[in-house]
């Protein structure tokens, strides 16, 4: 009788202890979960704040030159003479704009046509060979593109393309050539264009392939040719993604330093022709970081250059995104 | 008439597309070919196993071991650091905050960071080093590269984890697992191939980048012996050797470019093979 009761109490006690243990364990697991959530959340906050942080740090360090020289002189001035304290960024901003624009003009049409060909026309077997190759090439470092540019593009542009275009189109504003070296905007743009081919092709293909097959079949069943289907159905559906791919490639080309630096000539002038030498912002910073601490205001000016670069790429990215969102919504 | 016009248009664009595809792919293959063709003759065992001796940049003896080792240290460290930040970020996006406004903002921030030029990361890293009173060093380069690699890796992982079927997560929750446990024991195992691809992609980008280490890691002919000593890197080795007026040294720049390309190709092929092997463990 007594023993039975005692046994019952023991069992109950045991059960309670087990419950408490498992409660404690659950609490501990929950606490770990909450801790992980909070620390991860903090980390993501860091990511969100990183761009403002970079911009802020650059702004602080660039402040000496920003406060000493009026902003319009800094952005629009065409003279760059650090020893005299004259910092006009116009040649460099223009250089960056020229090289990137021409590169995108050269890169986008052929890459899109290639992407359309690979996703809509090419047989599966060809795709299976080409796409891994494209992925592989996307990883090739930009400095290698630069080496190739110096070996192949610069001489070719200098000896053949520039004289020919100067001869035939020299009367037009952008084609006059008085730079026989080949180091200039066109060479830089060609190198950049080839550098962004793989990104453009890979992303555009993904986007195009995501268009539902049923849409294509409906169009083809109505008697449209393949190209008509591509142009009126597939591209209409996929173009927001295609634009996003172009933005991605643009960012890459815009911020590229080494490949451009090696072939673009690096002359601080506002370029007026495709064949002029230019001096993009990235090249300016990379070429002069070594002596920037020895000349007053020079370091502030170069960091201001980095700030301008950052703000340009931010503005472009956000503008493209806003337009995209609005257009996608209105469709 | 309309039909014939459509046929002609079809033909024209088909030809244009084939021309584009051939020239685009051709130019890319041409680059590989040129690098191999110009780099191979100058490549020898000494280049891979020795550091630059006195007068190396005038064409005397030595190799680029300093740059090879430096690049591996820099990119390895940068990748490790970026991994420590990217994996939690990607898990947070997919496990703790899926389909929230917050997640969208974080993704936007990552996309913006993806577009930030590497030289800006270099300048930022340089400012951090100034603030900490550091000199150009391995550690500085690692930090700058980690910033550069972070958005690439985090977005890649984010997309890989997004592929996990909802049912798998729900099964794990139904068994009483917390979100953290689900993330660590189910999601990571399930997405290992995708995560690895993201890591190797970022590593490749890190090894090939010159602009961010230019400011931060410096350049030296010696092997780095601590985190605080400067480190050479392959892209800069290519660049500096190409900048000398001596053809013999320029030849070595081509060889260095070949070494760099070979490292990238090996990484890329490893990624492919590992992905295939790890896919075995994925539940479909």
Q: How far apart are CA A243 and CA A93, in angstroms?
A: 24
pLDDT tens for each residue of A53-105: 999 999 999 999 888 888 888 888 888 888 888 888 999 999 999 999 999 99
Q: Could you list the residue range(s) of the whole structural domain that residue B136 is in?
A: 48-281
Chain A's closest residue to B176, CA to CA, is A26
Chain A: give the shortest CA distance to residue B26, in Å: 10
A197: chain B residues, CB-CB within 8 Å: 24, 27-28
User: In the predicted model, what is the mean pLDDT of residues A205-219?
Assistant: 91
Q: Could you list the residue range(s) of the whole structural domain that residue A60 is in?
A: 1-68
- Tell whether B234 and B169 lie within a shared domain: yes
B108: chain A residues, CB-CB within 8 Å: 321
B181: chain A residues, CB-CB within 8 Å: 29, 33
User: In the predicted model, what is the mean pLDDT of residues A212-236?
Assistant: 90
Contact A47 B154 (CB under 8 A): yes
- Tell whether B95 and B231 lie within a shared domain: yes
B16: chain A residues, CB-CB within 8 Å: 113
- Tell whether B19 and B122 lie within a shared domain: no
Contact B34 A152 (CB under 8 A): yes
- Tell whether A60 and A101 lie within a shared domain: no
- Tell whether A32 and A104 lie within a shared domain: no
Chain A's closest residue to B12, CA to CA, is A227
User: In the predicted model, what is the mean pLDDT of residues B58-70?
Assistant: 81
Name, of A126-130, A153-157, B149-153, the range with top average pLDDT.
B149-153
Q: Which of B183, B157, B152, B158 is nearest to B169 (CA)?
A: B183
- Tell whether B35 and B169 lie within a shared domain: no
Chain A: give the shortest CA distance to residue B247, in Å: 13
User: Which two tokens mark A312?
Assistant: 């340009």
pLDDT tens for each residue of B167-212: 988 999 999 888 999 998 889 988 988 899 899 989 999 999 988 8
Domain count within chain A: 2
A325: chain B residues, CB-CB within 8 Å: none
Q: Report yes or no for ipTM above 0.85.
A: yes
**What CATH number is given to the structural domain containing A189?**
1.10.3720.10
Minimal Cβ distance to B123: which of A132, A285, A313: A285
Q: How far apart are CA A147 and CA A153, in angstroms?
A: 10
Contact A47 B209 (CB under 8 A): no
- pLDDT of residue B2 exceeding 80, the answer is no
Q: How far apart are CA B205 and CA B151, in angstroms?
A: 11
What angle do helix axes B101-115 and A2-68 make, rounded to 10 degrees?
Answer: 40
Using the 3D structure, point to which of A68, A83, A113 is the last residue of a domain: A68
A113: chain B residues, CB-CB within 8 Å: 13, 16-17, 20-21
DSSP assigned state of A265: B
- Tell whether B95 and B233 lie within a shared domain: yes
- Tell whether A154 and A9 lie within a shared domain: no
Contact B92 A37 (CB under 8 A): yes
B264 within 8 A of B207, measured Cβ to Cβ: yes
**What CATH number is given to the structural domain containing B145?**
1.10.3720.10
- Report the C-alpha dihedral over residues A154, A156, A157, A159, rounded to 10 degrees: 110
Contact A144 B111 (CB under 8 A): no
Tokens 């592929």 correspond to: B163
- pLDDT of residue B1 exceeding 60, the answer is no
Chain A: give the shortest CA distance to residue B181, in Å: 8
Contact B24 A114 (CB under 8 A): yes
Share of chain B above pLDDT 70, in %: 97
Burial of residue A20 (CB within 10 Å: 0-12, 13-18, 19+) is exposed
- Tell whether B107 and B217 lie within a shared domain: yes
- Tell whether A63 and A85 lie within a shared domain: no
Q: Where are the alpha helices (DSSP H) in chain B?
A: 2-39, 45-49, 65-91, 101-115, 118-132, 138-162, 166-174, 179-181, 188-208, 211-216, 234-243, 247-278
B211: chain A residues, CB-CB within 8 Å: 257-258, 282, 286
Domain count within chain B: 2
User: Which two tokens mark A69?
Assistant: 């020289």
Question: How far, in Å, are A197, A278, A287, A314, B77 from residue A184 at the CA level?
Answer: 20, 6, 16, 26, 36
Chain B: give the shortest CA distance to residue A2, in Å: 40
- Tell whether A51 and A171 lie within a shared domain: no
The size of the A-B interface in CB pairs under 8 A is 244
- Tell whether A19 and A76 lie within a shared domain: no
- pLDDT of residue B284 exceeding 70, the answer is no
Task: Tell which wins on pLDDT, B6 or B90.
Answer: B90
Contact B123 A306 (CB under 8 A): yes
Chain A: give the shortest CA distance to residue B192, in Å: 20
């Amino acid at each position: 009788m007594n023993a039975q009761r005692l046994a019952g109490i023991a069992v109950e006690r045991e059960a309670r202890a087990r419950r408490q243990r498992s409660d404690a364990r659950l609490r501990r697991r929950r606490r770990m979960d909450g801790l992980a959530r909070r620390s991860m959340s903090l980390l993501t906050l860091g990511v969100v704040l990183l761009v403002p942080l970079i911009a802020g740090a650059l702004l602080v360090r660039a402040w000496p030159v920003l406060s000493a020289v009026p902003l319009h002189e800094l952005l629009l001035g065409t003279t760059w003479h650090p020893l005299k304290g004259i910092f006009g960024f116009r040649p460099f901003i223009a250089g960056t704009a020229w090289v990137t624009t021409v590169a995108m003009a050269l890169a986008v049409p052929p890459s899109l046509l290639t992407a359309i060909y690979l996703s809509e026309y090419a047989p599966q077997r060809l795709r299976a060979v080409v796409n891994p190759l494209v992925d592989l090439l996307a990883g090739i470092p930009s400095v290698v593109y630069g080496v190739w540019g110096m070996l192949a593009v610069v001489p070719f542009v200098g000896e053949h393309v520039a004289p020919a275009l100067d001869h035939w189109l020299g009367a037009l504003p952008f084609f006059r050539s008085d730079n026989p070296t080949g180091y200039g905007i066109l060479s830089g743009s060609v190198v950049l264009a080839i550098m962004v081919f793989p990104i453009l092709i890979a992303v555009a293909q993904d986007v195009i392939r995501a268009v539902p097959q049923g849409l294509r079949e409906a169009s083809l069943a109505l008697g449209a040719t393949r190209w008509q289907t591509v142009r009126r159905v597939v591209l209409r559906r996929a173009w927001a993604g295609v634009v996003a791919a172009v933005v991605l490639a643009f960012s890459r080309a815009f911020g590229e330093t080494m490949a451009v630096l090696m072939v673009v000539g690096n002359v601080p002038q506002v370029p007026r022709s495709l064949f002029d030498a230019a001096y993009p912002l990235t090249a300016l910073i990379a070429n002069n970081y070594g002596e920037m601490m020895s000349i007053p205001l020079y370091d502030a000016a170069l960091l201001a250059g980095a700030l301008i670069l950052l703000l340009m790429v931010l503005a472009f990215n956000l503008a493209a995104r806003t337009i995209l969102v609005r257009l996608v919504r209105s469709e | 008439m309309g039909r014939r016009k459509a046929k002609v248009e079809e033909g024209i664009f088909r030809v244009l597309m084939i021309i584009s595809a051939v020239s685009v792919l051709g130019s890319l293959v041409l680059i590989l070919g040129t690098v191999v063709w110009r780099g191979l003759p100058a490549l020898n065992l000494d280049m891979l196993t020795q550091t630059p001796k006195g007068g190396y940049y005038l064409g005397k003896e030595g190799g680029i071991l300093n740059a090879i080792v430096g690049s591996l240290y820099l990119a390895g460290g940068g990748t490790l650091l970026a991994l420590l930040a990217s994996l939690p970020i990607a898990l947070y996006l997919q496990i703790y905050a899926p389909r929230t406004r917050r997640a969208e903002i974080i993704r936007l921030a990552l996309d913006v960071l993806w577009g930030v030029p590497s030289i800006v990361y270099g300048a930022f890293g340089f400012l951090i080093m100034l603030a900490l009173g550091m000199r150009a060093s391995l550690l500085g380069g690692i930090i700058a590269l980690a910033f550069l690699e972070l958005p690439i890796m985090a977005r890649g992982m984010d997309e890989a984890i997004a592929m996990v079927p909802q049912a798998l997560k729900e099964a794990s929750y139904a068994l009483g697992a917390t979100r953290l446990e689900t993330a660590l024991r189910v999601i990571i195992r399930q997405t290992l191939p995708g995560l690895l691809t993201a890591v190797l992609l970022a590593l490749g980008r890190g090894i090939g980048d010159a602009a961010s280490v230019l400011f931060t890691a410096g350049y030296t002919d010696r092997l780095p012996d601590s985190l605080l000593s400067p480190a050479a890197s392959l892209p800069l080795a290519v660049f500096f050797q190409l900048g000398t007026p001596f053809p013999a040294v320029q030849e070595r720049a081509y060889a260095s470019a070949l070494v760099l390309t070979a490292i990238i190709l090996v990484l890329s092929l490893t990624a492919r093979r590992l992905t295939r092997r790890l896919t075995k463990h994925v539940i479909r």
